[in-house]
A and B are shown apart, each in its own frame.
Chain A
Amino acid sequence: MGGLLISLLSGTQALDAAQAALQSASNNIANANTPGYTREVALLSENPEYFSGGNLTGGGVSVSAIQSVRDELLNLQIQQQTSLKSRADTESSNLQSLQPLFSSTGEDIASTLAAFSSCLGQLSSSPTDASVRQSVLDAGQNLANSFHSAAGGLQSAQSAADQQVTQTVAQINSLTSQIAQLNAQLTPSVMAQQNGGTIEDQRDQLVQQLSTLTDISITQSSDGEVITTGNGTSLIMGGQSFALQTTTGAGGFQQVLDSNGNNITASIQGGQLGGAIQIRDQVIPGFLGSLNSLATQFAAGFNAAQAGGYDSNGAPGQAFFSIPANGSAAASIGVALTSGSQIAASSDKSAGSNGNVANLLAAVNGNMSSGQSPAAAYSNLVYQVGSAASSASAQSSALNQSIVQLTNQQSAASGVNIDEETTNLIRYQTAYEAAARVVSTIQQLNTVTLNMGSTQTF
């Protein structure tokens, strides 16, 4: 025992030395912004081990104590990451459904914008041709329609996510109720019996399922197992469960309430519920905002160019596009002109002048009031939509691999050598930091490689 004490004390000295290295290497790899938190992890053990004043009692038991804590930590991580993976999967499948809305199908905004520009170009060449003027109107209508499709698709996806919220809350309530019932059965005498293990396993499986639906935090209290959401909303206390509720919010979407009626929607961080809420309340509104902004500014710029010219009859140009005063600009944008003769091609009231067409073309190809051209603004949106999906998918894959790593650690060797573990941790830290620098280099290479093939830089 003395020998063990010495080796453990020297182990703690090693820890002291390593502490400096670890702390200096602490923050942060690849944008990991881990919020600070204090966690309490329960140790279930028959023989208490404790240190007091730096002196160890309990002998070799302390090694298994570290092992137990380590296992609990691993379980904790697996649970958390399972929640996160589930959230990433939910986000990923929602985002996948948005991709066709922004793909090059011929009816998307990029295609109809290009066709609109082309028709205006033809107007430059043939300002008096009635069929060319009509084609400009038609192209404008197609452009408006493609805005409608994109906005409509986004709004549908939002509704779908909203339904997921309702369904997932129902599933959560069903699970917490079952878990509480099992908890109630798990008295010490039951635990000591054979089937105690079975009930425990059943319960653990249900808890695992629950962690895919929402982020959870599990602690032990004097009353038994306590499960809350990551943010502390009670779900289960021992044999008692607390149901979540939903209610329609101001925007028409389902809000999640705790059993006391408090709105906890924004605080759900993981699982299917977290993913659906994130998509519904953050991601899609972001896309819709950009789309509406584009529609509004584009219409305003084009209408202004119209107003600067004269139509076939020498009258000042009227607004080409109509934008509603309230509501979604992209969902409601329309063509206000009814005849090709109303297109303000002329700059001097003469019927054959094309002097204002250059301004109409500039409104389509040049910068809007935001300082970006319509194509640049839309291509930015396409990028956001695409990278959100590929990012969610990458996260899901990465979490899968991370969970595998943690699982492998769980089933790894039973002994824990503090010195060796500490050294390994430092080596891992070093390797991860070097890896992160490589990640960053590769990211930068992307721009260089892409630009090698084009005359413009992105």
Chain B
Amino acid sequence: MTRGEPQPLILKAGEHLYLLRSLAAEIERAMQAISSNNLPELEESVAGQQDLSFRLGQLAHELRDSPESGNLTPFHSLPPDLAQDIRAAAAELQQLNLRYAFLLQYSSRSLALMASLFNSFKGQLKEVPGSRLKLQTWSCQV
């Protein structure tokens, strides 16, 4: 995006809102993809998240450092509805983010287990003597 003159505050704020909502939608998509084991979908979503969060970070800092606000902070130069929407979207994003973080945490433990399975499935099988049924045990280090 070319920036010649600084954009008006309200346009930046509008973009901020759009990015917040898009990122939230992207995170929902990622969680759906994880649940349904859809790896390509997840990868696509994460790439989208990276792009959106990068732009969001830049923009948020620009807004905070905006010279247009004078004594008030940027939010209060905006129409109240827009400011309210931005706050609501930010709050929702945080809650989704929290759930997303937990999902990644739990899912990655399963991932680690599976990785160890394929990693160590090379000769740890042994027969347990004297069992009623034919039992073998497989050990994996996690």
Contacts and interface: CB of A to CB of B under 8 A. Distances in A.
A48 B131 CA distance: 13
Contacts of A431: 39, 42-43, 46
A339 interface: no
Given A51-B122, A428-B39, A445 B99 contact: no
A425 B118 contact: yes
Contacts of B73: 451-455
A5 interface: no
B115 A425 contact: yes
Contact of B123 (A54, A408, A449): A54
| Residue from the set B87, B90, B110 with the largest chain A CB neighbour count within 10 Å | B110
B36 A405 contact: yes
A436 interface: yes
Interface of A: 12, 15, 18-19, 22, 26, 28-32, 34, 36-54, 65-66, 69-70, 73-74, 76-77, 81, 84, 188, 220, 222, 390-391, 394-395, 397-399, 401-402, 404-406, 408-409, 412, 418, 421-422, 424-425, 427-429, 431-432, 434-439, 441-446, 448-455
| Residue from the set B53, B56, B74 with the largest chain A CB neighbour count within 10 Å | B53
A222 B115 contact: no
Contacts of A432: 104, 107-108, 111
B114 A19 contact: no
Contact of A439 (B100, B106, B133): B100
Interface residues of B, number: 75
Nearest 10 Cβ contacts at the A-B interface: A398-B102, A51-B123, A453-B75, A398-B103, A394-B98, A402-B106, A394-B99, A30-B105, A29-B108, A449-B90
A51 B37 CA distance: 31
B67 to A, nearest CB: 14
B137 interface: yes
Nearest to A49: B125
Nearest to B114: A425
Given A51-B123, A398-B103, A425-B115, 14 more contacts: A30-B101, A30-B105, A32-B105, A41-B140, A44-B134, A44-B135, A48-B125, A48-B127, A52-B123, A70-B117, A397-B102, A405-B107, A405-B110, A454-B73
| Residue from the set A54, A390, A402, A408 with the largest chain B CB neighbour count within 10 Å | A402
Contacts of B86: 449
B121 to A, nearest CB: 6
A25 B50 CA distance: 19
B108 to A, nearest CB: 4
| Residue from the set B42, B43, B46, B95 with the largest chain A CB neighbour count within 10 Å | B46
A455 B136 CA distance: 66
Contact of B109 (A19, A32, A427, A434): A32
B93 interface: yes
B133 A44 contact: yes
Contact of A406 (B43, B110, B121, B133): B110
Given A45-B136, A222-B131, A425-B118, A448 B125 contact: no
Contacts of B133: 44, 188
Contacts of B135: 42-44, 220
A36 B109 CA distance: 11
B34 A401 contact: yes
B136 A48 contact: yes
